[in-house]
Structure 1
Amino acid sequence: MSHTARGESPSAPGALPAGQRSLAPDLARGVMLLIIATVHAHLFRQVAGAGGFSLEGPADIGVTAVMALFAENRGYPMFAALFGYGLAQIHRRRTAEGREWPWVRRLLRRRGLALVAIGVAHTGLLFYGDIIAAYGLIALVFTAAMGMGDRRLLVHAAAWMAAGTLAYALVSTQLFAAASENAGAEVTWLSDALMRLAVLPFFLPLMVAISVFPFLVGVWAGRRRLLERPQDHLPLLRRAAAWGIAAGVAGGAPQALINVEVWHVGPVTATAVFWLHLLTGYAAGFGYAALIALAAHWLDNRSGARRGPVVTALAATGQRSMTCYLLQSAAWAVLVPTYALGLGPGWNDTGAVALGAGVWLATVLLADAMRRAGLRGGPAEWLLRRMTYGRPSPPAAS
């Protein structure tokens, strides 16, 4: 029977062996998780009832400005682009094996359904700001993007860039204002979980709206193997790193001035500034990914397969990015809510960002420990593979 026969299970479910993985995508995911951890910790002061940024002196003011310039709304675009890149890798590998498009489409959609299930569970159990379910919905709805021509793909991406960010800016500013007014209300674990699940149907479309554009750009980049073969794309990567990061800083400056309370604006201007912040956040996220690809190229040329312990640990974190992302949420669930340790209101801006970096560092150490133990992925990656591919087939009798 042909190995493309309908209903056949893949012969090798699971992640690529470590020796066959490219450094840049894993390194980018590992660094991206630092941005996500510090941003979440910085914003949790408002959710925990601290009433906005503390701005208790030059350190807090500097930290808040730096977060607006380099981190807030700059990490998730890179994450979404890497998700699109990863799906393009799966599509390319399975097609190269001889799999036909209907088979590959079913595989990608099973992966999307698994991500939605994991994301909903993540929301109910731990964290209101889940992005996993949003990526699962994108995988379900936009699977056809794998077969689009480049021009059509980028036209769709541009449309989502404009419309998605505008919708998010208009709605989210109102949601943030409502959340600030209700901050500090007495909650229990059950009421908090129910509230997170009740908000999810409204939050999820917003996350999808701002994630489709970087996802489609990631698919485009994955076709060209920009991160796997950076040596073939050095001029493009250098331009993307330089111009993307510069645009992110320039576009983040107005939001930074608002956050540090130097510039006081009305609702309309605040929404317009936030929209600019979102748009230039895409450029920054792509710029970070390009910069990390250039760094990976330099590291591979300098040391080949002999990577230092820091790079190895960061790559191990990226290889287990979903597990580490969920571990961050578990940390926030213990540290932030009033029904747990309730530490959030006591943080200042500097302390919150430092704590976020500390949580990220703990996940890096855990990921490297998993690597040393010979585990090819973390528990979340194992679960996603099992839900996508099913139980591995037993070896055929000789």
Structure 2
Amino acid sequence: MSHTSTSGPRASGAPPRPLPLDRRSLAPDLARGVMLLVIALAHTHLFTVLIGGTENTSTVADQIATAGTVMFVDLRGYPMFAALFGYGLAQIHRRRSEQGREWRWIRRLLRRRGLWLIVFGLAHTALLFPADILAVYGLVALLFVGALRLRGRTLAILAAVWLPPAAAVHAVIAADDAMTGQGLPPLPDGVADELLFRPGLFAILAVMMFVSTLVPFLLGVLAGRHRIMERPDQHLRLLRATAFIGIPLAALGGLPLALDKAGIWTGTTPGDAMVTTALHQVTGYAGGLGYAALIALVAVGLSGRRGPVTDALAALGQRSMTFYLAQSVVWAVLFSSYTLHLQLTSPAVGAGIAVAVWLATVLLADLMRRRGARGPAEAALRRLTYGPSR
């Protein structure tokens, strides 16, 4: 979920050293740190459905939390992370090319990274959380690493071509749910049942996540080629347009589905479900890119005057994979039947838990920054990808 860099060309065959954390670009790390809050909100809301069996809108607070999650979180934060993943691969490609590495070497490197992401993701799924994104990203890296060499126009065309199929998959699933009345299966009790439940649910969700990943991934590769997040001051017009059009568009596009999920608009037919879900999906891409653009603009405003809050959020972003996994450890402790077994059915309470957990990770990441410690998950992925340092 994060990337590494080098401090310059290296003549030896040793793995390149990662860029010192204090020399990394602010905008990508700040974006990852902030978006971990969106991920936390999405995950706790998912648990309210898995535990309660359906959307709980019994109180006004729950209706607001549900509607807000649909409009600003679901399929809004995920596209941003997918775009940042593509952006990171483009950075690795550019930097290794500048070191004189041939394409075949870079392709092997990125595919090896993708394979290890799949291993991490499948372990994450089996042990902790059924909606893993690491394995999906790893699969995208394996299958679409060649996109790094495509022309910019080709990347944009492929993203546009994939947009209708991605929306159609979500629309068909929503229509089927509306006709059958069956949503996600409830979270079972017992260690063995949960171990079987998580891979089964992941097999369903992974298809939806995969089709949702390709559009922002391709656009992220395109943005990485132009170094938009690293040099946001050179792309202010584009960033402003993306932020101030994309985010309101996502909110408006998610409003019909939000009213449905919040129980305000009732009597939804399968046809209605297809339209509202497809609209929600398509505008979610605009929202995810809009979030990234807005954070890049904030990074420009913070240039030269970073404070402790900015440093802490960037530290979290630098260790985003570690704390993405750490969130899942918390969810397992709180919600699994063989641990605390918290009966979370209120979306409003879930949102509060998500914010509290995210704030705790911000503090822990800042403590690691002060001690000069890298994220253990990032360090492990780097070692497995590049091999041990000499």
> After TM superposition, is the score higher than 0.5?
yes
1:127 alignment partner, one of 126, 129, 145: 129
SS in 1 for 2:82: helix
1:380 corresponds to which of 377, 382, 387: 377
| TM-score calculated relative to the size of structure 2 | 0.92
Amino acid in the other structure paired with 1:387: L
Rounded Cα–Cα distance in structure 2 between residues aligned with 1:75 and 1:242: 16
Aligned partner of 1:362 in structure 2 is 360
Aligned to 2:336: 337
Partner of 2:171: 169
Structure 2: give runs of 5+ residues left out of the alignment.
1-8
Q: Does the 8 Å CA contact 1:95/1:101 hold for their aligned counterparts?
A: yes
Map of 1:35 onto structure 2: 38
Residue in 2 that maps onto 1:396: none
Partner of 1:296: 299
> 2-side partners of 1:69 and 1:180: how far apart?
19
The aligned amino acid for 1:247 is: L
**Pairwise mapping of residues 137-286 of structure 1 onto structure 2 (< 5 A)?**
137-171=139-173, 174=176, 180=183, 182-183=185-186, 186-264=188-266, 265-286=268-289
- Provide the rounded CA distance (Å) in 2 between the counterparts of 1:262 and 1:197: 34
**What residue number does 2:19 align with?**
16
CA contact (8 A) 1:4 1:98 kept: no
Q: 1:215-236: per-residue Cα shift (whole Å, max 9, x none)? A: 0000000011111001110001
Pick closer, same or farther for the CA change 1:181–1:384 going to 2, 3 Å: closer
Partner of 1:53: 55
Q: How many percent of aligned residue pairs carry the same amino acid?
A: 49
Is the CA contact (8 Å cut-off) linking 2:253 and 2:279 kept in structure 1? yes
Match of 2:324 in 1: 325
Give the Cα–Cα distance (whole angstroms) in 2 for the partners of residues 169 and 322 of structure 1.
30
Residues in 1 aligned to 2:280 and 2:247: alpha-carbon distance in whole angstroms: 13
The answer (yes or no) to whether the contact 2:49–2:184 under 8 Å persists in 1 is no
For residues 145 and 175 of structure 2, the distance between their equivalents in structure 1, rounded to whole angstroms, comes to: 31
CA offset at residue 173 of structure 1? 6.2
Offset of residue 195 of structure 1: 2.5
Distance 2:184 2:372 in 1: 48
- Deviation at 1:209? 1.1
CA distance in 2, matches of 1:175, 1:83: 31
SS in 2 for 1:241: helix
Q: Is the 8 A contact 2:175 2:271 kept in 1?
A: no
**What RMSD in Å do the two structures reach over aligned CA positions?**
2.0
How far apart are the structure 2 equivalents of 1:80 and 1:119?
15
Q: Is the 8 A contact 2:232 2:297 kept in 1?
A: yes
Q: Is the 8 A contact 2:166 2:212 kept in 1?
A: yes
Structure 1 residue ranges without an equivalent (≥5) = 394-398
Amino acid at match of 1:142: F
CA distance in 1, matches of 2:201, 2:59: 35
Q: Which amino acid letter does the alignment assign opposite residue 360 of structure 1?
A: W
If the length of structure 1 is used for normalisation, what is the TM-score? 0.91
SS in 2 for 1:344: coil
Output the CA distance in 1 between the equivalents of 2:58 and 2:298.
36
Letter in 2 for 1:35: V
Residues 94-123 of structure 1: CA deviation (Å, up to 9, x unaligned): 111111111111111111111011000100
Cα gap change, 1:89 to 1:172, in 2 (>3 Å): farther
| Deviation by residue 1:37-82 (Cα, 9 ceiling, x = unmatched) | 011112211101x133332333222222222221111100000000
Distance 1:181 1:123, change over 3 A: closer
Pick closer, same or farther for the CA change 1:266–1:172 going to 2, 3 Å.
Answer: closer
In structure 1, how many angstroms separate the alpha carbons of the residues matched to 2:277 and 2:362?
Answer: 32
Change (3 A) 1:147 1:131: same
Structure 2 distance, partners of 1:9, 1:114, is 21
Within a 5 Å distance, the mapping from 1:102-117 to structure 2 comes to 102-117=104-119
Counterpart amino acid of 2:319?
A: R
Q: Identify the residue that residue 388 of structure 2 maps to in structure 1.
A: 391
Separation in 2 of the partners of 1:100 and 1:272?
Answer: 46
Q: Deviations over 1:140-174 (max 9, x none)?
A: 00000010011111111112222123113323664
Query: Following TM superposition, by how much is the alpha carbon of 1:256 offset from its aligned partner in structure 2, in angstroms?
Result: 1.1
Q: Distance in 2 between matches of 1:138 and 1:385?
A: 18
Deviation, 1:180, is 4.3
Shift of 1:279: 0.7
